[in-house]
């Protein structure tokens, strides 16, 4: 049997979390059109007759300023040496210079990588070949696999390529496991995703979500979560006129959470000002954003 861990690596916004959810077959990671959506490591476990893969969705690697972003990048970089295989994900429709530059930097660590060219739905077929050629020269990839995570194109083929390059071994988790991330953290992610989807400009970046109450009764789970903002002026924006925005965030998040946990959810959201939380190590620890 094959068994191993596989990280999703690359710049922000290339589609790592979308691909991760496809590979795992469940929505565990938050996805949004804004860069730096993912802040923490999320694991997803896939068990097949051939073996088991433990996927790590990670934040994007970027030039980081500030305490939180520095932590995000060191979490992202942990996916270079602490795994059996990395998927280096690129956006086929975006300029490749930054990716080439980043690859140049990590080369010396000699990670075992598959190059995943994502978003091929956005390019012409003919543009793929020169790209493959360029990357083949840039690094000794185990394989190069073009996919469209959004259209779920070629994802099964990618899984087969991954199995080919995994070591032999026994599964680490029982075969019906989906993740080892606590449910609370997944719920926080589902709520945070809605903030990234619906809030504009710097607001989503100034928010965090913290579940502070959880009670299970028969077929209903009651959850209370705080949405942290950095400044008092942001509180009203998250709540919205007549509470409309926070209601929308809550009802959309509830749908995802009910699907994830498979039962009815009562979700109550509140907004709390935690001044400059992004720069405070103790608050980042509380959110689980730890390098």
Contacts with Mg ion by CB under 5 A lie at 16-17, 37-38
Q: Site for ligand GTP (CB under 6 A): which residue of 2, 3, 4, 16?
A: 16
CA angle in degrees (0–180, nearest 5) for 161-136-153: 40
Compare residues 28 and 46 and give the one whose CB is closer to ligand GTP. Answer: 28
Contact positions with ligand GTP (CB under 6 A) in 132-161: 148-150
Is 14:118 a contact under the CB 8 Å cutoff? Answer: yes
- Stretch 35-54: interaction string toward ligand GTP, x if CB under 6 A: xxxx----------------
As a whole number of angstroms, the distance between CA 139 and CA 291 comes to 27
The reply on whether position 60 binds ligand GTP by CB under 6 A is: yes
Encoding tokens for residue 177? 């496991």
Compare residues 22 and 230 and give the one whose CB is closer to ligand GTP. Answer: 22
Give residue for tokens 């530059």: 101
As a whole number of angstroms, the distance between CA 131 and CA 97 comes to 11
Encoding tokens for residue 91? 């956006």
Compare residues 127 and 268 and give the one whose CB is closer to ligand GTP. Answer: 127
Q: Site for ligand GTP (CB under 6 A): which residue of 3, 5, 7, 32?
A: 32
The reply on whether position 115 binds ligand GTP by CB under 6 A is: no
| Beta strands 2-9 and 51-57, pairing class | parallel
Compare residues 30 and 52 and give the one whose CB is closer to ligand GTP. Answer: 30
Q: How many residues does the chain have?
A: 291
Is 195:188 a contact under the CB 8 Å cutoff? Answer: no
Q: How far apart are the first and last CA of the chain?
A: 31
Compare residues 60 and 79 and give the one whose CB is closer to ligand GTP. Answer: 60
Q: Would you call 25 helix, strand, or coil by DSSP?
A: coil
- From 34-42, 210-218, 241-249, 259-267, span contacting ligand GTP (CB under 6 A): 34-42
CB atoms within 10 A of CB 125: 8
Sign of the Cα torsion 146, 151, 157, 162 reads: positive
- Stretch 174-193: interaction string toward ligand GTP, x if CB under 6 A: --------------------
CB of 35 to ligand GTP, least distance (A): 5
Q: Site for ligand GTP (CB under 6 A): which residue of 3, 7, 13, 40?
A: 13
The binding site for ligand GTP (CB under 6 A) comprises: 12-18, 31-33, 35-38, 59-60, 118-119, 121-122, 148-150
């Amino acid at each position: 049997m094959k068994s191993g861990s596989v990280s999703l690596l690359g710049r922000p916004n290339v589609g790592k979390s979308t691909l991760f959810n496809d590979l795992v077959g469940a929505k565990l990671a938050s996805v949004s059109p804004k860069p730096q959506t993912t802040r923490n490591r999320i694991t997803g476990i896939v068990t097949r007759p051939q073996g088991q893969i433990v996927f790590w969705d990670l934040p994007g690697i970027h030039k980081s300023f500030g305490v939180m972003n520095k932590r995000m990048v060191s979490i992202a970089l942990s996916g270079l040496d602490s795994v059996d295989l990395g998927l280096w994900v690129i956006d086929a429709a975006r300029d490749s210079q930054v990716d080439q530059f980043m690859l140049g930097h990590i080369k010396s660590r000699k990670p075992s990588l598959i190059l995943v060219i994502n978003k091929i739905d956005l390019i012409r077929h003919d543009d793929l070949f020169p790209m493959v050629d360029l990357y083949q020269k840039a690094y000794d990839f185990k394989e190069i696999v073009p996919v469209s995570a959004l259209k779920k194109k070629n994802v099964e083929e990618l899984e087969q390529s991954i199995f080919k390059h995994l070591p032999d071994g026994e599964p680490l988790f029982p075969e019906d496991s989906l993740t080892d991330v606590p449910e609370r953290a997944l719920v926080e992610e589902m709520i945070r995703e809605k903030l990234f989807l619906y809030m504009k400009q710097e607001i989503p970046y100034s928010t965090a979500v913290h579940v502070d109450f959880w009670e299970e009764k028969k077929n209903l789970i009651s959850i209370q979560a705080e949405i942290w903002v950095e400044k008092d002026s942001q509180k009203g924006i998250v709540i919205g006129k007549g509470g409309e925005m926070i209601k929308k965030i809550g009802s959309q998040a509830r749908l995802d959470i009910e699907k994830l946990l498979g039962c009815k959810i009562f979700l109550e959201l509140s907004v709390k000002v935690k001044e400059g939380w992004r720069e405070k190590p103790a608050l980042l620890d509380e959110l689980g954003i730890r390098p």
